[in-house]
Structure 1
Amino acid sequence: MRIRISPEETRLLQELILEHCGVNLGVDAGFLFERRLGVRLEALSLASFREYFHYLSYDLDGPAELEDCIERITTHETYFFREQFQLDAFRQEIIPQLVHGDAGGRGPAVWSAGCSTGEEAYTIAMLLAEAAPQAASLVIGSDISRKVLATAQQGVYGPASFRTTDDAVRDRQFLPAGPGLWRVPPSIRRMCSFVHLNLLEVARYATLGRLDVIFCRNVLMYLSSPARHRIVEAFYDALVPGGFLLLGHSESLLNVTTRFDLVHLSSDLVYRRPA
């Protein structure tokens, strides 16, 4: 029998999650909690969502359970070569600018923030390898979910990850890894590293090193306005002068006070830290 959640219990959990990672779950939060977290109450022998809130807040195992809670209520939707028009702009206009301006031969450093299971990070690495094969480029993928990062590190994917990828491209870029599975080739995997990171932990951005481009696509839409502002400002500081921020097609900084310039490319609008 499903344990029901009260409006007050919903508010308590919403505020806890909002404070932890900035995710704003909206009006359907109660239904989401009942559907996705009810099994955890049963596993922990808890009688109510209020008891679950206290467990998350005060139990010694609360931090680990909170990670699992966030895992269950967040979205991890991605696939290879997503939003191709933006990737074309990255490949045709942004990469040449970065490589041309780098006299030392160091390749661009790109951060895929909220990389989920890794398809975006590997897509970026493939585009860099094709457009700047002599440059030692680096792609960092980060996510708040350790589960999806484990999938990213394995680099093995099924048909859903190639839903918009031509079979010819898939067969050329990837290695067979069993029936209905393909593996990212070693040359691309060596360009990528994956780290566990809560985007609200902005002080940790410095550990990623200097960054030329940040992809943060379809992440900000799930965050509260204060969280978006805090993260975007930290993105600005993490980028080198002249660096680019690329958001999802349904996102913008229109309602976020920011120091970024809006740049019109031939096939996309992107944000840039002034040089």
Structure 2
Amino acid sequence: MSQTPAITKDDFVKFREFFYRKTGIHFDDSKRYFVDKRLIERIEATDAGSFRNYFVSLRFQTSGDELQSLVNAMTVNETYFFREEYQLKCLVTDMLDEVTRRKRDSSPIRIWSMPSSSGEEPYSIALYLLEYWKGIYEWDVELIASDIDTNILERARRGLYSPRSVHNLPAKLLEKYFNRQKTGDYQLIDDIRQSVEFSRVNLMNASDVKAYKGFDIIFCRNLLIYFDDLSRRQAADTFFDALNPGGMICLGHSESMSRISSLFQVRKFPEAIVYQKPLEAR
């Protein structure tokens, strides 16, 4: 019977620094048990035998396949439909009105959900637009949803959810937009699933984000809490560049762009506080 690989404190620190450079995600000492457990799982899955062997292979692997598998194992995906609903209300009552007033042409409204996790957030945006925004019949909307985790993106594309994930949804929306499965789960109808374009993006990788421009609204909720100050500032710069002048970004309830970057203006709407790229910015 093979012995479980050991992860020393030095191994943990070495790995933590490597993972931070690759993803911007910082694991403090309180996450040691979680990190060790996931590392051991990957060491055993790859038959590396030891942390040293695994780490050397990870650093010098040209394909990046194992790094992606590791990222998938290390990222936490906890979400549900209509989470922090007050921001969705703000979207349809205030934010989109501003966006449409500024539009000088017939270009679509572009919304980016990053990270998308298993799809509850971007699909919630789609449902909210259909149910509560009259402008949906006048404007084309592009919904882009991105995440660093390829496994979670595949789950998102399937659109299959447990009762817990949909517990906040009104019964009429469950009946209208989901098909109940024999397992008790709920699957979104095809029209909603096809309304969202999913893509893999590492926010810390310049080549990944360079094509993500021209957005009117960004939802980035509960991601920056996993970053340190430097990574947060880098993320803020990326989002600033991705937004159109006057575009807005929604963060999680415990996050504040004002403590990260001076590039954005604070907008206090009745339903929510959001952060705006100044109209004169380019």
Structure 1 and Structure 2 fold alike (TM over 0.5): yes
SS at structure 2 position matched to 1:110: strand
Specify the alignment match of 2:60 in structure 1: 58
User: Is 2:19 aligned against 1:22?
Assistant: no
| Aligned with 2:241 (options 218, 233, 237) | 237
Report the CA distance shift for 1:108/1:78 in structure 2 as closer, same or farther (over 3 A): same
SS at match of 2:113: strand
Q: Residues of 2 paired with 1:105 and 1:187: CA distance?
A: 23
Deviates more, 1:119-128 or 1:27-36: 27-36
Determine helix, strand or coil for the equivalent of 2:258.
coil
Q: Could you say if the C-alpha distance between residues 78 and 146 of structure 1 is closer, same or farther in structure 2, counting changes exceeding 3 Å?
A: same
In 2, the alpha carbon distance for the partners of 1:227 and 1:147 equals: 24
Specify the code of the residue in structure 2 equivalent to 1:133. I
1:127 equivalent in structure 2 = 128
Structure 2 unaligned segments of length 5 or more: list them: none
Equivalent residue, structure 1, for 2:159: 155
| Structure 1 residues 179 and 103, CA gap change in structure 2 (3 angstroms) | farther
Residue 173 of structure 1: which of 174, 177, 181 is its match? 177
Question: Superposition pairs for residues 250-261 of structure 1, below 5 Å?
Answer: 250-261=254-265
Cα distance between partner residues in 1 of 2:67 and 2:76: 16
Whole-angstrom CA distance in 2 between matches of 1:202 and 1:213: 20
TM-score (norm 2): 0.90
| Paired position in structure 2 for 1:222 | 226
CA RMSD, 1 decimal:
1.9
How far apart, CA to CA, are the structure 2 residues paired with 1:208 and 1:88?
25
Residue 49 in structure 1 maps to residue 51 in structure 2: yes
* Structure-1 separation of matches of 2:206 and 2:80: 26
Structure 1 residue 69 displacement after superposition: 1.1
Return the alpha-carbon distance in structure 1 between the equivalents of residues 215 and 171 of structure 2. 33
AA aligned to 1:113 is: M
Contact 1:218 / 1:251 at 8 angstroms: preserved in 2?
yes
1:189-208 pair list within 5 angstroms: 189-208=193-212
CA distances 1:34-90 after superposition (whole Å, capped 9, x unpaired): 2122122223333332222112112456x2111111111111111111101111111
Q: Aligned letter for 2:57?
A: Y
Secondary structure, aligned partner of 2:89? helix
Q: 1:8 aligns with which of 4, 10, 22?
A: 10
Q: Who is 2:41 aligned against? A: 39
Give the gaps of 5 or more residues in structure 1: none
Q: How many residues align?
A: 274
- Deviations along 1:222-267, whole A, 9 cap, x unmatched? 0121111011111111100110010001111233133100110102
- Aligned twin of 2:116: 115
Please tell me whether the aligned partners of residues 2 and 38 of structure 1 are also in contact (alpha carbons under 8 angstroms): yes
Identity %: 29
Work out which of the residue numbers 185, 188, 194 in structure 1 matches 2:189. 185
Instruction: Name the aligned partner's letter for residue 278 of structure 2.
Output: P
